[in-house]
Copies of this chain bind each other. A is one copy, B any other.
């Protein structure tokens, strides 16, 4: 009976781990015998509903309480969130008003922003939406934006355009799901260090200048109104903390999402973009490093390379019997370009077929008439102009391959270096988590074939999708996960990659397919060696 009572009025068991909750405080109406002040009366009811937790009410909100209590006849629902020290009131709703409360998780990518709508009571994902980061207009990459931020009004413009776009998208999500934005009562934002700085309106000036200092590593919860985000004004916005300019909140939430810190086994989490970020560790320790891997994998280098989208080639398989190349495109549209996973497949197949050698150079005798010289540069024709969605041939040039090889060599060298620095053999890695949408499409065997990642059993490789968004969602829904974010941040040791002669030697050795030391890649067998 008491439990049922609690179910109705107080914090429910299923919400015990929530840090944003809706409760129904019980309050006696004021009388001569009970003449507590309005705010103090509400606080008393809230403390009881929250099992005795401390509660504080922002002064701006406190002003409205006397009239609100009387309007609702002392029967109401309250939304609160918890920070390190106490609960804070977000909003009061009249008792009996149906409807849940919602929160948003956001992954602020440099190129793409993804937001996810979560029901904060059930924890269910209600909706998701993504859009091009509007900051792309003033700067394609992070460096361009940092420079733009230093111009007059630059920082304010970068912040404004992102938040305006976010607000539009939120309003649409709310409308599509039939609730008002007053029911949006929390947000958790993940992104690289520059992106979260721009979101917060913090000057990123020192991020890209030695010794590379962020304005802040670990922002406290900030009120939506203070940021201009169109949630309920008193809602908390959590920004996932960073470890420095190079290990951002997106990686921290990725670590949370991977679960690697709960395991005894050693895992690697790899996030590949323009930078490659690599985290190594387990329950006991956690090391991370970041290094330039080159933009080849993001579709930024190959002339036909592009981001995933309709008609983009995301898989290439060559038939050893016929020598034919079969492609798969997104949504089965006519091919218009190739994305990272397709490129890795293609280069792997070219190598297995002997059409490129171990330095990645085209072998004219094997390529035959698929090879074509333009301005003295070899191009491999993957799709003829007749079959192409653009009306033009889709080709892969020698420099495209060279760039990919530099990227994959950088990636492999980073992996080798960090494991050496922490004295772990690559063979000890039990889980190799691949973060990012890119990781979900990549074929592990192809990546092994070109020597981008170590030759571990394919099931070791676990694509996790958008770990930045998943981690942010977890932190928004769970007080425990939220605390874990801060623990991970404090535990994660940043390793400065020592780009010395040894690193350069390793890099040179990795610039072959799969590697100068073939013994490292026993599973890679060119057709000629098997056929």
Binary per-residue interface labels of chain A (60-75) against chain B in the complex, 1 for a CB within 8 Å, 0 otherwise? 1011011100000000
**For A31, what are the chain B residues with a Cβ–Cβ distance below 8 Å?**
211
Closest Cβ–Cβ distance, residue A83 to chain B (whole Å): 9
- Tell me the nearest residue of chain B to A30, going by C-beta: B213
The answer, yes or no, to whether A395 is at the interface (CB within 8 Å) is no
Closest Cβ–Cβ distance, residue A512 to chain B (whole Å): 32
- Tell me the nearest residue of chain B to A220, going by C-beta: B56
What does DSSP make chain A's interface, helix, strand, loop or mixed? Answer: loop
**For A85, what are the chain B residues with a Cβ–Cβ distance below 8 Å?**
84-86
By the criterion CB–CB under 8 Å, are B59 and A226 in contact? yes
By the criterion CB–CB under 8 Å, are A219 and B66 in contact? no
Q: How many A residues touch B, CB cutoff 8 Å?
A: 48
B-binding segment of A198-206, A294-302, A424-432, A502-510: A198-206
The answer, yes or no, to whether A480 is at the interface (CB within 8 Å) is no
Q: Which of A196-224 contact B (CB under 8 A)?
A: 200-203, 205-206, 210-220, 222
Closest Cβ–Cβ distance, residue A530 to chain B (whole Å): 48
Q: Which of A28-79 contact B (CB under 8 A)?
A: 30-32, 34-41, 54, 56-57, 59-60, 62-63, 65-67
By the criterion CB–CB under 8 Å, are A226 and B60 in contact? yes
The answer, yes or no, to whether A128 is at the interface (CB within 8 Å) is no
Please tell me how many copies of the chain the complex holds. 2
By the criterion CB–CB under 8 Å, are A62 and B215 in contact? yes
**For A360, what are the chain B residues with a Cβ–Cβ distance below 8 Å?**
none
By the criterion CB–CB under 8 Å, are B201 and A35 in contact? no
The answer, yes or no, to whether A168 is at the interface (CB within 8 Å) is no
**For A217, what are the chain B residues with a Cβ–Cβ distance below 8 Å?**
36-37, 39-40
Partner of A216, one of B39, B202, B215, B222: B39
Query: Given the complex of chains A and B, what is the CA–CA distance between A84 and B56 in angstroms?
Result: 11
**For A203, what are the chain B residues with a Cβ–Cβ distance below 8 Å?**
63, 66-67
The answer, yes or no, to whether A245 is at the interface (CB within 8 Å) is yes
Which residues of A line the B interface, CB within 8 A?
Answer: 30-32, 34-41, 54, 56-57, 59-60, 62-63, 65-67, 84-86, 200-203, 205-206, 210-220, 222, 226, 242, 244-245, 494, 496
